[in-house]
Structure 1
Amino acid sequence: MSPIRVGLIGLPSALGENYEGTSWSVNAHLPFLTKSPNFEIVALLNSSVESAQTAIQKYGLPNETKAYGDPQDLANDPDVDLVVCSVRVDRHFLTVRPSLIAGKAVYVEWPLDRNLEVAQEMATLATKHNARTIVGIQGAFSPIIRKMRSVIESGEIGRVLASTITGSFGNNVDAESKNVRYFLDRDVGGNPITIHVGHSLEYIAAVLGEFKTLRSFSSISRPTIDIKDYSVGDTGKVVEAGARNTVPDQILAYGTVEPSDAAVTVKFHAGKEFPGQPRLDWRIQGEKGWLRLASPLVSLNVGGPGIKLEIARNETNTVEEILPEADEWDELPVPAQNIARLYEAYRKNEWHPTFDWALKRHEALDRIWKEFDAESH
């Protein structure tokens, strides 16, 4: 079978002092797409043709890779089967809209765009034009998440009674990196609420089930934050003092999930964790025992070394570490592993998150935003 031909949107041609972003396309998509015999990058869309040409050379893509600077030109390319968008959140719909109208398959990183309304418009457009869709909300494909789900489904800890997730964003509490300054701007749509809380809602659903009820309280504890350039050293250099922050950095969400009716609490806060404690601590209480995941990283959807999963059994008063199953994608760089599993699910026509699926998470986040607005006015 011929490989799936990919048109990639967003591959940074330069990572200099003015670069904004996390290089997600480089770190998470390229390692898989350039290795897999089942996918091949045939086109690249950047902000200009020149930028795309530079990136093609920079990352060693084939010389015949087409360079585009206009989303419509990519949409018009008959040689592109799948469009993959990995740009700043508020540019998602702008760059994939023509491809959706053309009926192409489209992969968009999470979140779909800056708010629920735009996400709904994207999902409606995809349905209208019979476009297959994928969303980069990959937590359910993580081996550690799959292992947690299998333990719950096996009944090893009995009926689930409650669950608590506590996490720190892992940034410096007194400053934000200039590379992600947009994390402070609610209108952009890429921020700790949409990214960290949004992904956590997905892996809660994967392990415990969908929220039946959901309430929240959020606040901004740092209304102004210095922006620093950390490329000059660990302490960074202030490049903008007192930047305005419009995104809550203390978030509490709570409710019950189906089918267990278990109470679930999610708490994220700005800054780093208490010394010696995990950055993310997820505990699930059952009638027969506990399941605990401790991670040095906040993003379980990405994963990484040092994540530890343990089960405590009431009957024997013992604690045992549980290891996830290995697969061929463990050999890829960490950010690319779950992305690879997501791509493979799409290729094999197995379940994967679509635009319509992602609306569930956008709707939950919309409730969190509305409750924040109600509390702050």
Structure 2
Amino acid sequence: MAPIKLGLIGLSAGGSWASRAHLPYFSKTDKYEIVALLNRSVESGKKAAENYNLSGVACYDKIDALLKDSNVDLIALSVKVPDHYEIAKPALEAGKDIFIEWPLAANLKQAEELTSLAKSHKVKNLVGLQARQDPSILKARELVLNGNLGDILGTTMTGHGGLFGPQATPYFEYMFPVEHGANLVTIPFGHAVDALCYVLGEFKDLQATLANNRPKVDVVDEAGKHLRTVDKTSHDHLALTGTLQRGGVATVVYQPATSLTGHNFYWEINGTKGSLVLEASSGHIQMFHPTIKFVSTEKDAKLKEIEVEAPSEFSYNVGQAWDAFAGNGEGTVTTFEDALLRHKMIEAIYRSDEKGTRESYL
């Protein structure tokens, strides 16, 4: 079977999410072939191609030029969230199959428009909500759906999202304006709560409290030298409670930076027959594999780790998603429709915080 020919947007010679999470997979698979790059300049594309030994790839600096390349079957969009919409819209209008990192767009309105375009142009699509591909998340879902935990009584998830500590490097400044849609709520929490809903089902209703505890952030260089102090409107603390459609109460708390106590991610699911515990070194569980443990309600039962296949590398979850998209791997293909539902949930969270009300997004 001939490989799917890929136009990759956002591969930087200096390092990027694309180079860390996608390129290791593409470099060893025969299901996809990178045939074109889109960067801010043709020269930067050539540098990336040379740096990563991508011989024979075409390099472009305009989305229109890339879309005219008949050799490209699929667009893979791996750039900052505020840029998603303006690049994705013409690609969808051109009828190109497309992958977009999560969040799908900077806001619900943009996500709705992109989803509508994908549907009207019959575009095959994939969104990077790859926590669903993690072995521990898949095992938790299996155990819940098979009834090993019995009826779900409740779940508690706490995480630290790495973002928005007392200092930040210039790279992260684009995340400070809440309207850019790239922040603690949309990214680390968004990935984690998507995994929660994948395992336990959607929220029937929810109530949220958000805070921007650090409205000003010191921007420092890599050596820690202070460069400037800038305003931040993105929230850095989230507390969410709600009831699940399938039953049970859910509580999720996400905080900034890292935990001083070393507990960066903890997720407990409690049922009438037993409980699961998932723990990870980071609240970004789409990247950092959590362990999974189970304890039954039987007398003297002890919490024991469940053995699952540990991801062999950082790009494992992303690779599994790409395999599924090509029709050769396990797990689901997370589409624009799935991402739109999560955008609706996040919009309900913002609405609940603003109005002090219990909200629904379904």
Same fold (TM over 0.5): yes
Per the normalisation by structure 2, the TM-score is 0.93
**In structure 1, which of residues 239, 244, 259 is the aligned counterpart of residue 231 of structure 2?**
244
Aligned residue identity for 1:270: P
- The residue aligned with 1:40 is 33
Gaps of 5+ in 2: 357-362
Q: Decide whether the 8 Å contact of 1:216 with 1:252 is kept in 2.
A: yes
- Relative to structure 1, the CA distance from residue 123 to residue 273 in structure 2 (aligned partners, 3 Å threshold; closer, same or farther) is same
AA aligned opposite 1:271: A
Contact 2:161 2:255 in 1 (8 A): yes
Tell me the matched-pair count: 353
1:140 to 2:132 alignment: yes
Specify which of 11, 22, 32 is matched with residue 29 of structure 1: 22
Q: Is the 8 A contact 2:267 2:278 kept in 1?
A: yes
- Residue in structure 1 matched with residue 359 of structure 2 by the alignment: none
Query: Which moves more between the two structures, 106-115 or 211-220?
Result: 211-220
Aligned twin of 2:306: 322
In structure 2, distance between residues paired with 1:294 and 1:149? 15
Q: What is the deviation of 1:172?
A: 6.8
CA distance in 2: counterparts of 1:138 and 1:217, whole angstroms: 26
**Secondary structure of 1:167's partner?**
strand
2:89 corresponds, among 76, 79, 97, to: 97
Contact 2:135 2:309 survives alignment (8 Å)? yes
Ranges in structure 1 where 5+ consecutive residues have no aligned partner: 16-22
Is the Cα contact below 8 Å between 1:142 and 1:303 reproduced in 2? no
CA deviation after TM superposition for structure 1 residue 177, in Å: 2.6
Q: 1:254 aligns with which of 235, 238, 241?
A: 241
Structure 2 counterpart of 1:10: 10
Q: In 2, distance between residues paired with 1:348 and 1:341?
A: 11
Distance of 2:355 and 2:209 partners within structure 1: 10
2:264 is the alignment partner of 1:271? no
Identity over aligned residues, as a percent?
33
Instruction: Report the counterpart of residue 18 of structure 1 in structure 2.
Output: none
Confirm or deny: 8 A CA contact 1:172 1:272 kept in the other structure. no
Q: Which residue of 1 aligns with 2:360?
A: none
Residues 93-117 of structure 1: per-residue CA shift (max 9 Å, x gap):
2112222111110000000111000
Distance 1:347 1:173 in 2: 39
Q: Which moved more, 1:181-190 or 1:82-91?
A: 181-190
Provide, for residues 9-57 of structure 1, a one-character-per-residue CA deviation record: whole Å limited to 9, x for no partner: 0111346xxxxxxx11010010011110111100000112122112111
Whether 2:332 is the aligned partner of 1:351: answer: yes
**Corresponding position of 1:301:** 286
Match of 1:187, SS state, is helix
Distance in 2 (CA, whole Å) between partners of 1:155 and 1:191 is: 35
1:280 aligns with 2:265: yes
Deviations 1:214-241 (A, max 9, x none): 2211111111111122x22xxx221112
> How far apart in 1 are the matches of 2:42 and 2:130?
30
Matching residue's letter, 1:348: G
Q: Distance in 1 between matches of 2:296 and 2:112?
A: 44
Alignment correspondent of 2:316: 337
Q: CA RMSD in A?
A: 1.6
1:156 matches 2:156: no
SS of 2:187's equivalent?
A: helix
The structural deviation recorded for 1:303 is: 2.2
Q: Deviations over 1:162-186 (max 9, x none)?
A: 0000111235732123221222111
Q: d(CA) in 2 for partners of 1:172 and 1:84? A: 28
